[in-house]
Structure 1
Amino acid sequence: MTLRALFVILVFALLPLSAAAQDRSSVEQQFQAWLRNTVWPEAQRKGVSQQTFDQAFNGVHLNWQLPDLVPPGSPAQTPKRQRQAEFGSPAKYFNRGSLDGATVQGRRMMRAYAGALAEAEQTYGVPGRIILGIWGRESAYGAAKIPHNAFEVLGTKGFMSTRASYFTDELIALLQIAEAGHAPSQAMRSSWAGALGQPQFMPSNFLKYAADGNGDGHADIWRSEADTIASIARYLRQHGWQTDRDWGFEVKVPDAVSCTLEGPDQGRRISDWAAMGVARVNGRAFPEHESRGEGYLLMPAGRHGPAFIVTPNFYVLKDYNMSDLYALFVGHVGDRIQYGLGDFSAKWGTVGGLYRSDVAVMQRTLEAAGHDVGGADGLAGFKTRRSIGRWQEANGQRATCFPDAAMKPQLR
């Protein structure tokens, strides 16, 4: 190859990169203008000073590595991969390391912070084991590294993400936190979604629910374990935690009970579930006070994994993170910490390996047939799971209530 030919190849190879760099430079300029013209007036209206605003965004640029970004002029698309663990394979989410690590360290924290946990339970009615389950999952009891500049994350996602208005509101709340001096100067670090501190509160949740657990007049979710414990408990209480109910029970669901009965909108008395043949895996009867209360069938992997009867408290846990697997992990780890329980009786099947775009195609096909799948977002939530089961039953198939690759040719 001649030197001239090599030069021509290199020039053409670099053209797309130059165009992309120019496009990103233009978008960056739009971002800085958006900060000045949209974010600053609203922040000022909420009492944020010019000094706080300028310090917050000093050196901040768009972070193009964040998920679910929609640059100006780009169509919104369902991503092929979902980075958040809560929406992946159940077996992977409940892996040995995560379960054992959260349990072993949780027992240490239960001993170390027994007083703060007891105080939180007395004040808010939330059991210490549940607080520990959330604390462990969110930040490994404060040990997890929080990687991102929170202003960069929320600025980027407020400017160009699939939920831009939500993240813009969170950005304003973050500026209010900075203005009030709630956080130490080095603490404005967050997850890829903008969550803060040991309980991983979004900024608006900090403003609503952060609590002073050690009585020093401050709610410090960054450095104070007592404040972290109290803040998690207060959040759950404010979202409706019922002190006289557990979160749920692993059960066996007979074949005669359809998996399409899953969901918080299809609840019935737990005694009625028992009369249908749904039984606890440990062979014990449901507690009498629980039997009188309402329960809901939960099958996160359809017929391919463990099944549960859960209480309203399960959906309070889900308010913390809108994932069935998250709420289930928290409740399960809490039980392991306090009661020494082992793994679930049923094993997780090999499910959850489809692209979100594949699941979204199935969802749109089901919607066209009149099913309520909860939105074509590519995630197999309970509405999608039971819609698949209803479609299977209508087509003479055994209902498994979970999307799999074999369905793709039929649901497209």
Structure 2
Amino acid sequence: MATLAAALIAFAAPASAARIDDQFQAWLAKDLWPEAKAKGISKATFDAAFQGVSPNLKLPDLVLPGEKPKTPKKQHQAEFGSPGNYFSEKTLGAVTSGGRARAGANAKTLAAIEKRFGVPGGVVLAIWGRESGFGAAKMPYDAFEVLGTKAFLATRKEMFRKELLAGLEMVERGLVSRKAMRSSWAGALGQPQFLPTSFLKHAVDFDGDGRADIWNSTPDTLASIANYLVHYGWAKGRDWGFEVSLPESVTCALEGPDQGKKISDWAAMGITRVGGKPFPQNEARAEGFLMMPAGRNGPAFIVTPNFYVLKEYNESDVYALFIGHGADRIASGDRRFVGNWGKVDGLYRSDVATMQRGLEKLGYDVGGADGLPGFKTRRSIGDWQAKNGRAATCFPDKGLLEAMR
């Protein structure tokens, strides 16, 4: 009985690194290998992939044996900052100046990519610059260590298991050498930062050497990025969006990809492009969407479906806006946002989550109480503010927090 009790205590307690490694090796042999074999992975490829590999317990979002998933305190206590922080001139300037420098050097390739895929060169360059510093970023991790650790211990095991098996397929098919499988901490590969499933779906041989090389080939890297966007619905001939001036008479609660109107209809409501230019004729007849990442606390935009294609690369409004704005600056020079990003009212992400839960109790769909105010949260705030006699800002503030406590 004492032996059984000791065993139960050992199982329930957080595992030591050595014991986790033993469990990892058993998982590889008894769980992962049978599935890999069924998918056509050879034992030689499998063994080479995991030779000398142990779980990296320093990676984020892991759940160790004997522990329960938990929200990191750091995330809960993180200050809620202005979306404008994402657009520091140091980062944005490096992408735009670097993009312009490479636009000339790769003009022929970019023209061929735009002709084949319909994606403007500026967009492709902005993604390349943002993802890997135009290929300069180091990939410090062994991809099989990262993907193996996460498939075994992460909060999203099934997703990483799928990526791990795709990585094995890449090596098995000779698409990349085992040695070249270096990645970010999240398991992303090469200059476009593709996960293995994205490589298998979207990587393109554009330099004609017979293999898609997103590690060393600039043409293959750029074309693969464009192919990725096309797969998710990039509309040839359309812009990503326009910065606009929003009259006080138009509520910010109209934001969102499910509240589209013809751009000419937005214009009829008094919304105008900053700088005074009219919307292009082809855009005026097509659908657009109001997008205000900081509510009335920052610039406003009318975006096209291509904006939401950019979000497929990284599920974030500010990421897509960074890429679209960076692409404009690469193509047309340093035209910065006209609207100013306001300051945030001394809040934490936990405060934003409190507001979201309060709005949910009132029947609003805020897209989840995660402490990140996406468009559903922003427009819910605006609607609640208007109904309660407040100026509709569509952005969290201390007054709203007090009202929702």
Task: Please indicate, yes or no, whether the TM-score normalized by the shorter chain is above 0.5.
Answer: yes
Residues 129-148 of structure 1: pairs in structure 2 closer than 5 A: 129-148=122-141
Residue 251 of structure 2 is aligned to residue 289 of structure 1: no
Name the residue aligned to 2:273.
280
User: What SS does the corresponding residue of 1:216 show, helix, strand or coil?
Assistant: coil
Query: Take 1:200 and 1:57, find their aligned partners in 2: how far apart are those partners?
Result: 22
Residues 18-57 of structure 1: pairs in structure 2 closer than 5 A: 22-57=15-50
What is the one-letter code of the residue matched to 1:271?
A: S
Query: Take 1:20 and 1:112, find their aligned partners in 2: how far apart are those partners?
Result: 58
Name the residue aligned to 1:257.
250
Query: Take 1:297 and 1:358, find their aligned partners in 2: how far apart are those partners?
Result: 26
1:275-299, Cα deviation, whole Å (9 max, x unpaired): 1111111111111111110000000
Residues 54-133 of structure 1: pairs in structure 2 closer than 5 A: 54-81=47-74, 89-133=82-126
Residues 201-220 of structure 1: pairs in structure 2 closer than 5 A: 201-220=194-213
1:279-330, Cα deviation, whole Å (9 max, x unpaired): 1111111111111100000001111111100001111111111111111111
1:222-266, Cα deviation, whole Å (9 max, x unpaired): 010010011011111111111121000000111211111110000
- Count of residue pairs brought into register by the alignment: 392
Name the residue aligned to 2:238.
245
1:159-201, Cα deviation, whole Å (9 max, x unpaired): 2223221111111111111212222443211122211100011
What is the one-letter code of the residue matched to 1:46?
A: K
Gaps of 5+ in 2: 1-11
Name the residue aligned to 1:346.
339
Structure 2 contact 292–300 (Cα < 8 Å) conserved: yes
- TM-score w.r.t. the length of structure 1 is 0.89
User: What SS does the corresponding residue of 2:311 show, helix, strand or coil?
Assistant: helix
User: What SS does the corresponding residue of 1:295 show, helix, strand or coil?
Assistant: strand
Structure 2 contact 15–66 (Cα < 8 Å) conserved: no
Query: Take 1:352 and 1:140, find their aligned partners in 2: how far apart are those partners?
Result: 33
Query: Take 2:140 and 2:399, find their aligned partners in 1: how far apart are those partners?
Result: 39
Residue 295 of structure 2 is aligned to residue 302 of structure 1: yes
Task: Pick which of 50-59 and 239-248 moved more.
Answer: 50-59
Which of 320, 324, 330 is residue 331 of structure 1 equivalent to?
324
Superposed displacement of residue 82, structure 1:
5.1
Residue 283 of structure 2 is aligned to residue 271 of structure 1: no
Task: Pick which of 32-41 and 226-235 moved more.
Answer: 32-41
Query: Take 1:203 and 1:294, find their aligned partners in 2: how far apart are those partners?
Result: 34
Task: Pick which of 397-406 and 19-28 moved more.
Answer: 19-28
- TM-score w.r.t. the length of structure 2 is 0.91
Superposed displacement of residue 207, structure 1:
0.3
What is the one-letter code of the residue matched to 1:113?
A: N
Gaps of 5+ in 1: 1-18
C-alpha change, 1:264 and 1:60, in structure 2 (3 Å) is same
Name the residue aligned to 2:365.
372
What is the one-letter code of the residue matched to 1:174?
A: G
Name the residue aligned to 2:176.
183
Residue 149 of structure 2 is aligned to residue 156 of structure 1: yes
Percentage of matched positions with identical amino acids? 60
Which of 226, 229, 232 is residue 233 of structure 1 equivalent to?
226
Structure 1 contact 252–307 (Cα < 8 Å) conserved: yes
Which of 376, 380, 389 is residue 383 of structure 1 equivalent to?
376
What is the one-letter code of the residue matched to 1:208?
A: K
User: What SS does the corresponding residue of 2:200 show, helix, strand or coil?
Assistant: helix
User: What SS does the corresponding residue of 1:408 show, helix, strand or coil?
Assistant: helix
Query: Take 1:182 and 1:353, find their aligned partners in 2: how far apart are those partners?
Result: 50
Structure 1 contact 124–237 (Cα < 8 Å) conserved: yes
Structure 2 contact 252–295 (Cα < 8 Å) conserved: yes
Structure 2 contact 360–366 (Cα < 8 Å) conserved: yes
Structure 1 contact 245–313 (Cα < 8 Å) conserved: yes
Query: Take 1:94 and 1:353, find their aligned partners in 2: how far apart are those partners?
Result: 20
What root-mean-square deviation, in Å, do the aligned CA atoms of Structure 1 and Structure 2 show? Answer: 2.2
Structure 1 contact 81–355 (Cα < 8 Å) conserved: no
